[in-house]
């Protein structure tokens, strides 16, 4: 996923990050294999995620380049273990040349907590990237969930199929802290994809394939929107609300009627 995202131009320099919430059986196996290895010190997360206490997360490192993850994972990613209270982490493996998890680890963990609660643990991947067409769109459209949902849904039929719940938008905030993590996690309770204005996109999914698929689809939709609106001030036609309902019926989807 990291390699594909870099190839698509989503990860300039050290831009973007990703995390994976290990399944209980995976965590048990990892802890057994790492039992005799030296662990890092406990470090404050900067937020509290008590529902994830004791769990293990595979997460990219702060300042690391996504293009290097596949070539040298032990240097660029790590296994981070949370304490029982979900307030601190320690590194159990990885970042062998030093470092810490991504500065946006608090956002990842708060998103994981929300998705674990809502999906019963089915959603385990959080992926953050900087897709350029979508970022460009955040300078043009009103920074509201409805405006972005309708704009992206209307670009191609696949969009309401892939994100029928819509898409959330966080207005510009300084990244990496608790405040933006709180705002993002609130929206993750409604959506699987949340835009950070003038910054990028967070996707939550049940697999790496689906996380990347959501990222690609939303970026392609933004690209189509930008092409169309560079050609004409107002498109001549598009998908209607009745069309969205027909898609929902035929594909057996629960489409968000708030956006019709």
Give the C-alpha distances (Å, rounded to integers) separating 66 from 8, 130, 235. Answer: 12, 12, 37
Instruction: Determine the longest span between alpha carbons in the chain, in angstroms.
Output: 66
Q: How many CB atoms lie within 10 A of CB 134?
A: 27
Give the residues across from 196 on adjacent strands. Answer: 170, 200
In the predicted structure, residue 227 carries a pLDDT above the cut 90: yes
Helix-strand-coil percent breakdown of the chain, rounded to 5? 40, 15, 40
As a whole number of angstroms, the distance between CA 62 and CA 50 comes to 23
At 39 the pLDDT is 85
Q: Is the pLDDT of residue 21 over 90?
A: yes
Confidence of residue 178 (pLDDT cuts 50, 70, 90): confident
- Could you read off the pLDDT of 188-202 as tens digits, one per residue? 999 999 999 999 999
Spatial CB neighbours of 176, under 8 Å, sequence gap ≥ 6: 103, 104, 106, 107
pLDDT digits (tens, 9 = 90+) for 87-128: 999 999 999 999 999 999 999 999 999 999 999 999 999 999
Closest to 112 in 3D by CA, of 44, 15, 48, 20: 20
pLDDT of residue 203: 98
Q: How much is the pLDDT for 176?
A: 84
Number of helices (H) and strands (E) in the chain: give both, helices first: 10, 9
Mean pLDDT of the chain: 95
For residue 35, pLDDT beyond 90: no
Give me the pLDDT at residue 15, please: 95
Contacting residues for 130 by C-beta, under 8 A, at least 6 apart: 10, 11, 12, 15, 16, 199, 200, 201
Active site residues: 104
Q: Is the pLDDT of residue 249 over 90?
A: yes
- Tell whether the model's pLDDT for residue 37 goes beyond 90: no
Instruction: Return the percentage of the chain with pLDDT > 90, whole number.
Output: 94
**Tokens matching residue 46:** 């900067």
> Which H or E element spans position 33?
helix 24-33
CB within 8 A of 55, min separation 6: which ones? 21, 22, 27, 81, 82
Q: Which tens digits make up the pLDDT trace of 59-92? A: 999 999 999 999 999 999 999 999 999 999 999 9
* pLDDT band, residue 30 (cuts 50/70/90): very high
């Amino acid at each position: 996923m990291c390699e594909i995202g870099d190839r698509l131009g989503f990860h300039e320099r050290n831009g973007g990050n990703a995390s994976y919430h290990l399944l209980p059986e995976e965590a048990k196996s990892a802890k057994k294999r790492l039992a005799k290895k030296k662990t890092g010190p406990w470090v404050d997360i900067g937020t509290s995620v008590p529902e994830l206490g004791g769990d293990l997360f595979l997460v990219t490192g702060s300042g690391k380049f996504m293009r290097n993850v596949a070539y040298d994972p032990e240097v660029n990613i790590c296994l981070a273990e949370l304490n029982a209270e979900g307030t601190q982490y320690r590194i159990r493996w990885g970042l062998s040349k030093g470092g810490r998890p991504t500065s946006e680890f608090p956002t990842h963990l708060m998103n994981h907590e929300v998705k674990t609660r809502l999906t019963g643990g089915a959603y385990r991947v959080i992926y953050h990237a900087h897709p350029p067409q979508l970022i460009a769109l955040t300078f043009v459209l009103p920074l509201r969930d409805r405006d972005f949902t309708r704009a992206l849904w209307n670009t191609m039929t696949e969009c309401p199929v892939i994100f029928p719940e819509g898409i959330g938008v966080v207005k510009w905030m300084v990244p990496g802290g608790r405040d933006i993590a709180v705002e993002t996690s609130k929206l993750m309770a409604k959506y699987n994809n949340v835009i950070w204005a003038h910054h990028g996109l967070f996707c939550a999914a049940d697999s790496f394939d689906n996380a990347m698929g959501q990222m690609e689809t939303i970026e392609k939709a933004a690209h189509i929107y930008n092409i169309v609106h560079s050609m004409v001030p107002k498109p001549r036609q598009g998908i209607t609300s009745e069309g969205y309902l027909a898609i929902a019926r035929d594909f057996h989807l629960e489409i968000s009627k708030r956006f019709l």
